[in-house]
């Protein structure tokens, strides 16, 4: 019997176990739809998730549902905004909740949320993105404790590593809670229960563009009494820690249909002055447990009243300290005579009636004193400010009494006495004449050093005068590195910049003996934390930006401006900064024994900074210019062999790198240069050395570069040179072509070379021909220059040119001899026909003898002899004349025959 019972129990247990394992497989595909339908049917938003997992074993006798990648996205008027998102949401509920029909509320007993984001927004019309509940149809009342398709009978919950953001654009209030971990335990199914909560987070709070908290640590342990019948939540045992400041509080919040009633009191649990140091962020207050203090510090306040559409709670917050002091154990000086008397009040519940009274805020370090009083009324309306600040302080004493960052060093003496009174309505309307600011501030022997600046900044003297409309910088002179500066000027809208986000408008004069731009540039390197490099090893490059808030004119005058290894002398001109753009006008300078004038602009408005510039260069030393300026090295690398001066007009534009160096591959522009030189060093240039070896007839040392003018353009890393001419003795050389910024060349030099430069054989031919006109005979020669600048490839067509000229000269020689033979034969035959007798004793004329031979045997064969002229076969002069004589005599005989025939016919007719 017992065995039978055990078998039955075991079978039932096995059946239940199988059901617990099997049921999720059947329900898991439906549970996601059930949850989505319950939410989406009740809210004006869209719930979605990538995966829903169901388990009946892990939380038995409850069911556990896990949702992955959850999102709740708004519809109009916040369409597309994510109200809520989470990596994981886990819910626990009774197993029977899974079998409820559509529209029936599901009771949740526990939930966990991991890495969530809750972003609450109120727009300027006070529409709230969390107001997503759909209006219920009819007058049917929902069951108690049921909202939006769910009822919460929770026993516990937990939120881990989450973010809450609250942005109220109607009031300018912004709250951000980061790295929030929160958990609570309690049985919320009871009408009266207690919820034990623990919270820690980083809190930032901003109101009207003023940051009051910036990632301050907050811890809160609160035991909250919950009365669901009255909707009342009471703070029973509660302690909060802001930074290191402990606070205890008590009271309640009661939720009603149209409003909430609030009554909360808080205070510091002790009056130790260390409480004041605890208010300061931990990074700056350091180890306050070892600080020796005297005096007290009290922070207390209360909120009470009704909160509705027109009211806020009335409140009173007091901050008080009376003749306190503190001293850090490892610092030599103490801060003493600390008086704080501050109240923040609202006695009516109307937001605009909030006011702040700083009756006293003062302290001393040795004999240095600082005092401030202020009254701020209508804090949330037309804020009115009246304040006075005065003090005399040796700034070096601050680091002697307070633990400032180790890399920050302050020196100097500050003396200030300033009064101000204004209202925000006048500021917003730019009616600065309604403000009243007066006083002065001066600093002497100020020195500031920090890791983010390359050199300490030393201010010898600075003096400012405050007026309602302007702040006058009477003088500001100092040094940093090699740089000295003396600045004066005015700021015309200081209050508009402070309160209206207006651009700083002003006019300034800058004078300097030496202004080294490198003194203001930080070296690029790996970012480090402490003494260790970041594990990424990435190079930190911070792009230089022209301030967007600046709208100012600078008149500059500097004896020397140093940029890298370049010294600009007597720099003068104006600089206009506006809309993240620096505009240079009428800038002049001396450089490399010449003059430079430049106009242009630099803009950092886009992601990639750009520039456009026009330069006028007059009588600059060629060698120094092309040695020192990177741009000229790539534009004309061969120019460094020139000795002398040049003048040029340059227009160029392109992109800048993060350190404001030109990005060479992005440059476009034109250069018109006039070179004034008669000297050249071909041995220092691979190109000219290669040309010299190919063109034996030219000595490059003797090139005539007088008044050399050239024009070139460049774009996308390619330089194109317009054709220009240079002279060598009586040879004109025309050069054109181009090269790339990485020195790959494609040039052509074309020249008309006189024949006299082309070697012994050609000149012997010319001498044989003995014609004066041939002395001016030229042939075209082209030299093609390719390869790289340091390893050029030079080819010429000189060999083929000389061969063609030689053939041309041979033809001229032949023609000249033929012409000469005809002339000689005509003369001799004329003499013979006239019967001229020659003296037998006269010198033998070979031409005449040849004619005689021809006449003696006109039909006979003449022997011909041949010889060469400079290895070129030609007939002997005598043979040539004989042949011509034959032709001439034949013509004469034929002519005589014709005459005799005509005479015979005439006689017959007679």
Q: What is the pLDDT of residues 357-392, one digit of tens each?
A: 999 999 999 889 999 999 988 877 788 899 999 999
Q: What φ, ψ does residue 268 adopt, rounded to 5°?
A: -75, 140
Question: How large is the C-alpha radius of gyration of the chain?
Answer: 51
Mean pLDDT within 87-111: 69
Mean pLDDT within 123-146: 65
Distance CA 70, CA 86 (A): 5
pLDDT bucket at 754, cuts 50 / 70 / 90: confident
Count how many residues are written for the chain. Answer: 910
> For residue 683, what pLDDT is reported?
64
Mean pLDDT within 493-499: 75
Nearest in space to 650 (alpha carbons), one of 729, 597, 578, 577: 597
Tens of pLDDT, residues 692-716: 777 777 777 777 776 677 888 888 8
Distance CA 670, CA 648 (A): 10
301-305: long-range contacts, CB 8 A cutoff, minimum separation 24:
301/265, 301/266, 301/267, 301/344, 302/263, 302/264, 302/265, 302/266, 303/251, 303/262, 303/263, 303/264, 304/262, 304/263, 304/264, 305/261, 305/262, 305/349
> For residue 210, what pLDDT is reported?
67
Mean pLDDT within 853-862: 43
Q: Is the pLDDT of residue 836 over 80?
A: no
Tens of pLDDT, residues 193-221: 888 999 999 988 887 666 777 788 889 99
* Range from 334-343, 383-392, 631-640 carrying the lowest mean pLDDT: 631-640
Distance CA 206, CA 146 (A): 36
Mean pLDDT within 70-89: 89
Tens of pLDDT, residues 21-30: 444 544 555 6
> For residue 114, what pLDDT is reported?
92
> For residue 304, what pLDDT is reported?
93
> pTM for this one?
0.57
Mean pLDDT within 554-580: 84
Q: Is the pLDDT of residue 569 over 80?
A: yes
Residue 149 — left, alpha, or beta (φ > 0 → left; ψ -120 to 50 → alpha)?
Answer: left
Tens of pLDDT, residues 399-422: 888 887 766 777 888 899 999 898
Selected residue with higher pLDDT from 591 and 341: 341
> For residue 714, what pLDDT is reported?
83
Percent of the chain with pLDDT over 70: 72
677-683: long-range contacts, CB 8 A cutoff, minimum separation 24:
677/622, 677/642, 677/643, 677/644, 677/645, 677/646, 677/705, 677/708, 678/644, 678/704, 678/705, 678/706, 679/642, 679/643, 679/644, 680/641, 680/642, 680/643, 680/705, 681/641, 681/642, 681/643, 682/641
Distance CA 849, CA 828 (A): 10
Q: Is the pLDDT of residue 537 over 60?
A: no
> For residue 863, what pLDDT is reported?
41
Q: Is the pLDDT of residue 395 over 50?
A: yes
Percent of the chain with pLDDT over 90: 13
Mean pLDDT within 8-22: 45
Mean pLDDT within 157-166: 91
> For residue 749, what pLDDT is reported?
87
**Which one of 498-502, 745-749, 871-875 scores highest in mean pLDDT?**
745-749
Q: Is the pLDDT of residue 146 over 70?
A: no
Which helix (H) or strand (E) element contains residue 72?
A: strand 62-74
Tens of pLDDT, residues 500-521: 777 878 899 989 998 887 676 5
Tokens, residue 891? 């013509």
pLDDT bucket at 438, cuts 50 / 70 / 90: confident
Tens of pLDDT, residues 657-668: 876 778 878 888
Distance CA 466, CA 887 (A): 117
Helix and strand numbers, DSSP H then E, in the chain: 13, 45
Q: Is the pLDDT of residue 793 over 60?
A: yes
């Amino acid at each position: 019997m017992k065995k039978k019972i055990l078998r039955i129990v075991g079978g039932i247990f096995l059946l239940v176990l199988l059901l617990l394992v099997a049921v999720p497989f059947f329900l898991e595909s439906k549970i996601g739809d059930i949850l989505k339908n319950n939410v989406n049917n009740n809210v004006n938003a869209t719930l979605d998730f990538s995966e829903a997992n169901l388990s009946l074993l892990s939380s038995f006798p409850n069911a556990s549902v896990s949702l992955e990648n959850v999102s709740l996205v708004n519809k109009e008027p916040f369409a597309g905004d994510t109200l809520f998102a989470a990596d994981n949401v886990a819910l626990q509920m009774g197993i029977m909740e899974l079998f409820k029909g559509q529209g029936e509320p599901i009771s949740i007993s526990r939930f966990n949320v991991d890495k969530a984001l809750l972003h609450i927004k109120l727009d300027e019309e006070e529409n709230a993105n969390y107001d997503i509940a759909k209006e219920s149809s009819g007058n049917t009342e929902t069951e108690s404790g049921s909202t939006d398709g769910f009822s919460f009978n929770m026993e516990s919950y937990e939120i881990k590593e989450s973010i809450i953001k609250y942005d109220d654009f109607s009031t300018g209030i912004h709250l951000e809670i980061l790295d929030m971990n929160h958990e609570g335990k309690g049985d919320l199914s009871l009408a009266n229960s207690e919820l034990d909560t623990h919270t820690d987070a980083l809190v930032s709070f901003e109101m009207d563009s003023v940051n009051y908290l910036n990632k301050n640590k907050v811890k809160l342990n609160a035991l909250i009494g919950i009365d669901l019948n009255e909707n009342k939540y009471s703070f029973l045992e509660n302690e909060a820690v802001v930074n290191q400041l402990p606070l205890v509080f008590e009271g309640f919040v009661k939720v009603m249909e149209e409003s909430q009633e609030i009554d909360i009191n808080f205070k510091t649990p002790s009056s130790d002055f260390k409480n004041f140091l605890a208010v300061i962020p931990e990074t700056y207050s350091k180890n306050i447990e070892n600080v020796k203090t005297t005096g007290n510090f009290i922070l207390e306040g209360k909120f009470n009243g009704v909160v509705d559409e027109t009211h806020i709670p009335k409140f009173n917050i007091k901050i008080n300290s009376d003749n306190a002091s503190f001293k850090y154990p490892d610092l030599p000086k103490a801060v003493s005579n600390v008086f704080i008397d501050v109240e923040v009040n609202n006695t009516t519940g109307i937001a605009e009636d909030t006011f702040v009274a700083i009756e006293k805020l003062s302290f001393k370090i040795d004999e240095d004193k600082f005092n401030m009083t202020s009254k701020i009324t209508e804090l949330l309306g037309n804020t009115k400010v009246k304040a006075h600040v005065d003090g005399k302080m040796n700034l070096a004493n601050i680091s002697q009494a307070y633990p400032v960052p180790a890399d920050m060093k302050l020196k100097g003496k500050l003396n200030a006495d300033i009064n101000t009174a204004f209202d925000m309505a006048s500021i917003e309307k730019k009616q600065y004449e309604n403000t009243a600011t007066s006083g002065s501030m001066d600093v002497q022997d100020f020195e500031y050093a920090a890791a983010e600046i390359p050199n300490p900044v030393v201010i010898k003297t600075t003096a400012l005068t405050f007026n309602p409309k302007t702040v006058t910088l009477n003088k500001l002179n100092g040094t940093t590195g090699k740089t000295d500066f003396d600045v004066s000027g005015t700021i015309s809208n200081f209050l508009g910049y402070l309160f209206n986000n207006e651009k700083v408008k002003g006019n300034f004069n800058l004078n300097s003996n030496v202004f080294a731009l490198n003194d203001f540039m930080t070296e690029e390197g790996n970012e480090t934390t402490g003494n260790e490099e970041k594990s990424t090893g990435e190079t930190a490059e911070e792009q230089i930006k022209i301030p967007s808030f600046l709208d100012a004119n600078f008149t500059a005058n500097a004896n020397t401006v140093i940029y890298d290894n370049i010294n600009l002398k007597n720099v003068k001109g104006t600089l206009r900064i506006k809309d993240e753009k620096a505009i240079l006008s009428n800038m002049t300078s001396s450089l490399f024994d010449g003059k430079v004038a430049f106009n242009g602009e630099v803009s950092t408005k886009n992601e990639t900074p750009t520039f456009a510039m026009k330069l006028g260069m007059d009588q600059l030393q060629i060698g120094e210019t092309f040695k020192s300026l990177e741009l000229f090295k790539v534009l004309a690398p061969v120019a460094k062999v020139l000795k002398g001066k040049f003048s040029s007009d340059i227009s160029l534009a392109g992109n800048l790198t993060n350190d404001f160096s030109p990005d060479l591959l992005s440059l476009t522009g034109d250069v018109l240069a006039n070179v004034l030189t008669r000297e050249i060093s071909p041995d220092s240039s691979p190109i000219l050395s290669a040309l010299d070896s190919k063109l034996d007839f030219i000595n490059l040392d003797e090139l005539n570069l007088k008044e050399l003018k050239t024009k070139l353009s460049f774009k996308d890393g390619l330089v194109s040179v317009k054709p220009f001419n240079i002279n060598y003795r009586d040879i004109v050389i025309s050069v054109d072509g181009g090269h790339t910024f990485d020195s790959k060349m494609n040039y052509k030099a074309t020249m008309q070379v006189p024949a006299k430069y082309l070697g012994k054989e050609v000149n012997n031919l010319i001498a044989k021909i003995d014609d004066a006109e041939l002395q001016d005979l030229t042939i075209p020669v082209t030299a093609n220059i390719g390869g790289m600048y340091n390893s050029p490839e030079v080819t010429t067509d000189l060999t083929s040119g000389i061969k063609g000229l030689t053939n041309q000269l041979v033809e001229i020689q032949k023609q000249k001899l033929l012409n000469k033979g005809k002339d000689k034969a005509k003369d001799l035959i004329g003499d013979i026909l006239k019967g001229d007798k020659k003296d037998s004793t006269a010198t033998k004329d070979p031409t005449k003898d040849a004619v005689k031979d021809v006449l003696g045997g006109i039909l006979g064969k003449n022997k011909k002899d041949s010889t060469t002229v400079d290895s070129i076969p030609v007939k002997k002069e005598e043979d040539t004349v004989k042949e011509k004589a034959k032709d001439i005599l034949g013509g004469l005989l034929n002519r005589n025959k014709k005459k005799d025939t005509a005479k015979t016919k005439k006689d017959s007719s007679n």
